[in-house]
Amino acid sequence: MRAYPTPQTISQAAAILQQGGLVAFPTETVYGLGANALDATAVAKIFEVKERPFFDPLIVHISDLRKLPLLARDIPLTARKLIDAFWPGPLTIVLQKTPLVPDIVTAGLDTVAIRMPAHPIARQILSKADIPIAAPSANRFGMLSPTCADHVESQLGEKVELIVDGGKCEVGIESTIIKIAGNSATLLRYGGIPLEDIEKVIKHIEIPTENNKIESPGQLPTHYAPRTPLMIIETPIAPNKEIAYLAFCNAPKGEFLAVEVLSPHADFREAAANLFSCLHRLDSCGARMIVAETVPEIGLGRAIMDRIKKAAKKNSC
Ligand code: AMP
Ligand code: MG
């Protein structure tokens, strides 16, 4: 069932979660598919519905800092600084877990990924349910992330008891993930909070490179992929009516099967918010191939390029 977020819908969503069911709901990043994070059987349903491999751990969502000690222990000062600066918001922090967090949530790791979303509907559902909620993106595993209720419905449809329709996600790209261990901070995923902003709060962040990859389960090269092959282009290409075109700020010259412009104002926030919707549309227009322009890799541009590169990788591995 799909419903707008009335007070009754929020109560219904909370009741379903408390009873071990699944609810898809909007967050500022993308739509999440939520289950009670402390109930291993409920969490197992997420993996089943998404067809997600069990080695890919989930992010646990809370709306209240008082829930943090249930999930994490030995919280270092560095983590506290990040929490003060960026929660609620699109930053996930990986910390040492408590025994209360089931292994299925963390893929057997002794750490847990935690986020406090800023979206008012997500927050209302979390506080009404009054339990930590494990919630990956509400899509089939490896496919494009959902940034509106239509995307959720077309990928998961009847498999979810309730889809709460809160319109379009404002950030539109997944959270930044930072792992904190003692004094050290490591970037695990580029996302909705630009690295430059985080570096203003904590001085040194380790950034794994291709050659120096740290273990980051679930960060597969083929995430976020459209069904249509996608190729990144550095320079303009000749018009082609079989090709769909993803531009950063200016539409290309000549005729393509479909064209999407991420941000006519060359604004990274606008581009991030539009990215998955544009890719969903280009993916469904019947093109032989999607070509994507590069986006400057500064600020949110890094997270945008990370997703575009992952969409392109699918076809090269
Ligand atoms: P999502 O698919 O947006 O729900 O994000 C989940 C991702 O967070 C996983 O694919 C991992 O890369 C990362 N993650 C979650 N838990 C952990 C953890 N305990 N340690 C390291 N990375 C994690
Ligand atoms: Mg996902």
- pLDDT of residue 152 exceeding 90, the answer is yes
- pLDDT of residue 217 exceeding 90, the answer is no
Q: Is 113 in the pocket of ligand 1 (CB under 6 A)?
A: yes
Q: Whose CA is nearest to atom 9 of ligand 1?
A: 218
pLDDT value of position 159? 93
- pLDDT of residue 113 exceeding 90, the answer is yes
Q: Is 94 in the pocket of ligand 1 (CB under 6 A)?
A: yes
Sheet of 32-36: strand order equals 2-3, 162-164, 23-25, 32-36, 133-134, 59-61, 111-115, 91-96, 176-181, 184-189, 205-206
Q: Is 188 in the pocket of ligand 1 (CB under 6 A)?
A: yes
CB 71 within 8 A of CB 101: yes
Q: Which ligand is nearest to the CA of 71?
A: 1
Write down the CATH number for the domain with range 230-316: 3.40.50.11030
User: Across residues 248-259, what is the average pLDDT?
Assistant: 96
Q: Is 106 in the pocket of ligand 1 (CB under 6 A)?
A: yes
pLDDT value of position 317? 40
Mean pLDDT of the chain: 94
- pLDDT of residue 136 exceeding 50, the answer is yes
User: Across residues 67-91, what is the average pLDDT?
Assistant: 97
What separation in Å is there between the alpha carbon of 136 and the centre of ligand 2?
Answer: 5
Q: Is 219 in the pocket of ligand 1 (CB under 6 A)?
A: yes
- pLDDT of residue 210 exceeding 80, the answer is no
- Tell me the one-letter amino acid at 223: H
CA-135 nearest atom, ligand 1:
4
Q: Is 216 in the pocket of ligand 1 (CB under 6 A)?
A: yes
User: Across residues 136-161, what is the average pLDDT?
Assistant: 94
The residues spanned by each domain of the chain are 2-199, 230-316
- pLDDT of residue 95 exceeding 90, the answer is yes
Model confidence at 224, in pLDDT bands (50, 70, 90)? confident
Question: Can you give the pTM of this predicted structure?
Answer: 0.92
pLDDT value of position 269? 95
- pLDDT of residue 1 exceeding 60, the answer is yes
Q: Which ligand is nearest to the CA of 179?
A: 1
Cα separation, 156 vs 33, whole angstroms: 10
Pairing of strands 176-181, 91-96: parallel
What separation in Å is there between the alpha carbon of 224 and the centre of ligand 2?
Answer: 7
The pick from 30, 47, 52, 58 for probing ligand 1's pocket by mutation, whose C-beta has the most ligand atoms within 8 angstroms, reads 58
Q: Which ligand is nearest to the CA of 37?
A: 1
Residues 37-72: tens digit of each pLDDT: 999 999 999 999 999 998 899 999 999 999 999 999
Q: Which ligand is nearest to the CA of 110?
A: 1
pLDDT value of position 315? 57
236: preceding bond cis by omega (within 30 degrees)? no
The pick from 33, 51, 92, 144 for probing ligand 1's pocket by mutation, whose C-beta has the most ligand atoms within 8 angstroms, reads 92
Write down the CATH number for the domain with range 2-199: 3.90.870.10
70 vs 223, more confident: 70
> Which region, left, alpha or beta, applies to residue 142 given φ > 0 means left and ψ of -120 to 50 means alpha?
left
What separation in Å is there between the alpha carbon of 51 and the centre of ligand 2?
Answer: 11
Least confident piece of the model among 102-106, 162-166, 217-221: 217-221
Residues 153-176: tens digit of each pLDDT: 999 988 999 999 999 999 999 999
Q: Is 112 in the pocket of ligand 1 (CB under 6 A)?
A: yes
Locate 308 and state its tokens: 């575009």
User: Across residues 209-231, what is the average pLDDT?
Assistant: 73
pLDDT value of position 237? 94
pLDDT value of position 212? 61
Model confidence at 260, in pLDDT bands (50, 70, 90)? very high
Cα separation, 263 vs 280, whole angstroms: 16
The pick from 56, 97, 222 for probing ligand 1's pocket by mutation, whose C-beta has the most ligand atoms within 8 angstroms, reads 56
- pLDDT of residue 300 exceeding 90, the answer is yes
Q: Is 272 in the pocket of ligand 1 (CB under 6 A)?
A: no
Residues 170-209: tens digit of each pLDDT: 999 999 999 999 989 999 999 999 999 999 999 899 998 7
pLDDT value of position 313? 84
What separation in Å is there between the alpha carbon of 137 and the centre of ligand 2?
Answer: 4
